[in-house]
Homo-oligomer: A and B are copies of this chain.
Amino acid sequence: MSIVVLGTVALDSVNTPFGKRKELLGGSAAHFSMAARLFTKVNLVAIVGKDFPRQHISFLESKDLNLSSLIIDKGKTFRWEGEYRGDLNTALTLNTELGVLSVFKPRISAQQSGIKNIFLANVDPDIQEHLLRKMRNPQLVGLDSMNYWINNKRKELTRLLKHVDIYVANDQEARALSGETNIIKAAKALKGYGAKMVLIKKGEHGVLFYTDKFIFSLPAYPVEKVIDPTGAGDTFAGGFMGYLAKTGKINALAIKKALAYGTVAASFNIEDFGLNRTRRLIPQDLERRLNKFKDCFLF
């Protein structure tokens, strides 16, 4: 079954210990799509400006994404500029230019609005809610957010969480929204906001998945040379949601496999700048690394 992803398509400039890159194609929805496309048809709901390079559109089309709900508006494309230092675990945002994102009202075709799998990647909660209201038959809704919205639109975000199946957060966000330091207590508290399931991404420390019935915990795939972690969480979500959309089942086994696919997809993302590695991924790459990943902990 196909999936709708709402989020940003951006031009990212990053500075890491391994080099600098200017205006790379990025954004939460773009990173998500690079992984999710390996499992299912991805329908991209996003906005870019008139300045968005034509070759990026061609590239996204070449990856078989449905771009009928990608708005090209007058104005500038959303730009993010960030820096990573030391162990590359935390991004330092140097600059953000919202551009057309500040007037974004997502639209979706009648056909797309009937799609059952929906991922609301990181963007203003009001925009996330705007799209979710248009969806006619949501069956599996995932949502990601960020500290900025937790701090500035907490009410809107928590209201939205009542309509979400899986809330995806990183550990800092989980602690910020819940006020708990212990990560399991944080997950439990987040579930209290209404999402049926809570998925906490811990970067190099793997993931924790929480429901009232079970807790899953997976390590990260060991990557020695981390070049650029931008979009790793979105790529994780793409692999995770993509697999669930493909299988059409939500049970313990499907979720653990989905977590493993998300982990493996994210491990590719961090090995190069922007989408440089994930744009070249084919399903066999994921399968091969999934087997290596299993060897790390299965017994």
Contacts and interface: CB of A to CB of B under 8 A. Distances in A.
Interface string A112-141: 000000000000000000000000000000
A41 B87 CA distance: 42
A217 interface: yes
A224 B188 contact: yes
6 contacts: A87-B182, A184-B224, A208-B219, A208-B222, A216-B297, A218-B297
Contacts of A218: 219, 297
Interface residues of A, number: 35
A298 B299 CA distance: 8
Interface of A: 86-87, 181-185, 188, 202, 204-206, 208, 214-220, 222-226, 252-253, 256-257, 260, 295-299
B215 A222 contact: yes
A256 B299 contact: yes
Contact of A226 (B182, B188, B204, B226): B182
A296 B255 CA distance: 11
- State the oligomeric state as a number of copies: 2
B299 A297 contact: no
A157 to B, nearest CB: 24
B184 A297 contact: no
Nearest to A185: B224
Contact of A219 (B185, B219, B257): B219
Contacts of A86: 181
A257 B185 contact: no
A256 B204 CA distance: 20
Nearest to A17: B181
A299 B219 contact: no
Q: Which 6 A-B pairs have the closest CB atoms?
A: A217-B219, A87-B181, A205-B205, A256-B299, A184-B224, A217-B296
A1 B250 CA distance: 45
Contacts of A226: 182
B184 A257 contact: no
Given A205-B205, A205-B206, A206-B205, A184 B223 contact: yes
Contacts of A297: 216-219, 256, 297
B296 A222 contact: no
B217 A217 contact: no
Given A217-B222, A256-B299, A297-B297, 13 more contacts: A87-B182, A182-B226, A184-B224, A185-B224, A205-B205, A205-B206, A208-B222, A214-B295, A216-B296, A217-B220, A217-B296, A252-B295, A253-B299
A180 to B, nearest CB: 9
A224 to B, nearest CB: 4
Nearest to A89: B181
Contact of A299 (B188, B225, B260): B260
